[in-house]
Structure 1
Amino acid sequence: MKIIELDIPGAYHVIPERHTDSRGSFFEWYRFDLLSDALGHPFELAQANISVSAKDVVRGVHFADTPPGQAKYVSCFAGAVMDVVVDVRVGSPTFGQWSTVRLDDEDRCAVYLSEGLGHAFCALTENATVMYLCSQTYAPRQEHTINPLDPKLAIGWPTPHPILSERDAAAQSLSEAAAAGVLPDFLPPPTIDLRDLDGRR
């Protein structure tokens, strides 16, 4: 498994090593120890979600208040999506920038997003099935949305006719969210001595 930091600090592309033969394939989808090594701290799992989307559906850009925020480990288990990480953290050197990774049921890659980062994706196929591992349980009052079609963000969505929820379509722009004071601040990630993980290594 390779874990590579994207252009946005705190976002990682996780590339599994797949073993394939005539029977099918096997791969490690998630490794606590390797991810902890890459992050410098453990990823605590609190909730797992699944979404199924029709082709051209765009979900996001979603983020949560920090603290505590909500880190995510995202994979596509059926079909394909263009996954998007958006830096909405005030004071970040990459504020307002975004990065994309194709997630699909062939390469079986994943994306990790640290707390405070915005997340979105576009379904490239019918019934695109995305699974999220989350560091915190869902807290509606702490959740926020940036309009994924915000022209200032100018995300290069791979469809001329994105299908949005009413909530996402009515969401404020990044500039409006900044003016309203709802964006998280950029904070260096916490680090711990990974030898102190109580025998989990």
Structure 2
Amino acid sequence: MIFTETPLSGAYLVALSPHSDDRGWFVRTYDKAAFAQMGHMADWVQMNHSLTRQVGAIRGMHFQHPPHAEIKLVRCIAGKVFDVIVDLRASSPTFGQWFGAELSATNQAALYVPKGFAHGFQTLTSDCQLIYCHSEYYAPEHEGAIRFNDPKIGIDWPLPVTDISARDANHPLLIPSFTGLLV
């Protein structure tokens, strides 16, 4: 595994190293010791799997408020997505900034998302499937989100939006009084 830090401190792209032969390939998607070397000490307590059918669909931008703020490890296992994170940490020098990367079944990359980040994605192909590992259990009473097209953040989505839930389309914009999450 190769961990490459993104421009947002504490967030990493994780490149996997498949071992191939005539039968196909094998790849390790998690190694506790390797993750510990880059500072990850939490356990994964929940794993989710999503399917998004339509090209151009957006899911996000979701997070959980403390004390249930979570670390995520996101990997696309079918199709291709533009995966996006937004730094919402109050004490971060990159507060309010976003980073996006292509995750696909072909590149086998993963995105390590620290606590205090909003996360979402846009499908670049049809029938995209993502696997998410979470360091905290889903806590609906601590759920938070920001709007995918918040002009204050300015995410540059690669495609026109073709599908988004009413809920995701109507998440709140960041307001001037929002000073960040204390994680």
Distance 1:141 1:180 in 2: 19
The structural deviation recorded for 1:91 is: 2.7
Distance, in Å, in 1 between the alignment partners of 2:76 and 2:161 is 22
Where 1:179 maps in the other structure, the secondary structure is coil
The one-letter amino acid of 1:179's match is: S
Task: Give 5+ residue unaligned stretches, structure 1.
Answer: 188-201
Dislocated runs of 4+, deviation >2 Å: 178-181
Q: Which amino acid aligns with 1:148?
A: F
Q: Find the aligned partners of 1:30 and 1:103 in 2 and give their Cα distance.
A: 16
CA-based RMSD of the aligned residues comes to 1.5
- Are the aligned partners of 1:63 and 1:143 in contact in 2 as well (CA < 8 Å)? yes
Distance 2:146 2:162 in 1: 15
* Deviation for aligned residue 1:146: 0.3
Kept after mapping to 2: 8 A contact 1:32/1:43: no
How far, CA to CA, are the matches of 1:99 and 1:122 in structure 2?
A: 13
SS in 1 for 2:152: coil
Q: SS in structure 2 opposite 1:34?
A: helix
Query: Using the alignment, how far apart are the partners of 1:53 and 1:43 within structure 2?
Result: 28
Counterpart CA distance in 2 for 1:163 and 1:155 is 17
- Map 1:7-26 to 2 at 5 A: 7-26=7-26
TM superposition shift of 1:21: 2.4
Q: CA deviation at 1:162?
A: 4.2
1:184 aligns with 2:181: yes
Q: Per the alignment, in what secondary structure is the counterpart of residue 141 of structure 1?
A: helix
Structure 1 equivalent of residue 48 of structure 2 = 49
Q: Which runs of 5+ in 2 are unaligned?
A: none
Q: Report what 1:163 is aligned to.
A: 163
The residue number in structure 2 matching 1:68 is 68
Instruction: Find out whether 1:99 has 2:99 as its counterpart.
Output: yes
Give 1:43 deviation, angstroms. Answer: 2.6
SS at match of 2:38: helix
1:13/1:112 contact within 8 Å kept: yes
Between the aligned partners of 1:169 and 1:46, the Cα distance in structure 2 is 29
Under a length normalisation based on structure 2, what TM-score does the superposition of the two structures give? 0.93
After superposition, give the CA deviation of every residue in 1:53-111 in whole Å (9 maximum; x if it has no partner): 12211111111112231110110011111111111122310011111121111111111
What corresponds to 1:136 in structure 2?
136
Bigger CA radius of gyration: 1
TM-score between both structures, scaled by the size of structure 1: 0.85
| Kept in 1: contact 2:64–2:70 (CA 8 A) | yes
